[in-house]
Amino acid sequence: MTVIALTGGIASGKSTIGRRLAELGAVRIDADQLAREAVEPGSPGLARVVERFGGDLIGANGELDRAALGAVVFGDPAALAELNAIVHPEVRRIAAERIAAAEAADPDAVVVYEIPLLVETDAARDGDWDLVLVADAPAEQRIARLIELRGMDDAAARARISHQAGDAERLAVADRVIDTSRSEAETIAQVDALWAELRAR
């Protein structure tokens, strides 16, 4: 089995790379999706969030009001650290289960695990990765994408990028880099070339 950690700054094209690897046959795992699963109704993670931050964050449907929780922890580093201490271990546990299941189904599986905060959470150092793959595009280009594709204004886009690790920090942990600054077709071609290498091993 080959386990790839895929990371990159916001709007760097991680999802494009992850989708293409899945189309080619990889098992795709998304850390953001796992973070949602970690606090699903009935989960131990949600129980701990309620215990720490209060039951008023639960909506009428029994689900966590993520926007309300975000408002509580945004700008409060201590509260954010407490939330991360609840959610991140659950995400790691679920991810380990998914990776083990992929290996059980196919010992030669390629797993691509998309982790936006690979550097910020020390997962680059602590994870057992066969390959760290970084999606890379200049910050100004990513700001333009956030404005165009996600409807953010310039200040909000810059704020989001400033709260993440810098490009140099991500590139420092990269085994391979996919340049996503050009066309989507050129990004896909780089992914296809990487896949051919992986399957030839």
Neighbour-count burial for 86-103, b at 16+ CB within 10 Å, e otherwise: bbbebbbebbeebbeebe
Query: Where do the domains of the chain lie?
Result: 1-26+109-201, 32-96
pLDDT at 79 over 90: yes
Number of Cβ within 10 Å of residue 150's Cβ equals: 12
The CATH classification number of 1-26+109-201 equals 3.40.50.300
**Residue 142 predicted with pLDDT over 90:** yes
Match 């509580």 to its residue by tokens: 72
Residue 124: per-residue pLDDT: 73
pTM of this structure: 0.90
Residue 60 pLDDT class (50, 70, 90 cuts): confident
Confidence of residue 10 (pLDDT cuts 50, 70, 90): very high
Give yes or no for residue 112 having a pLDDT over 80: yes
Please identify which residue in the block is written with the tokens 């966590």. 64
Percent of the chain with pLDDT over 90: 82
Backbone region of residue 70 per phi and psi (left: phi > 0; alpha: psi in -120 to 50; beta: other values): alpha
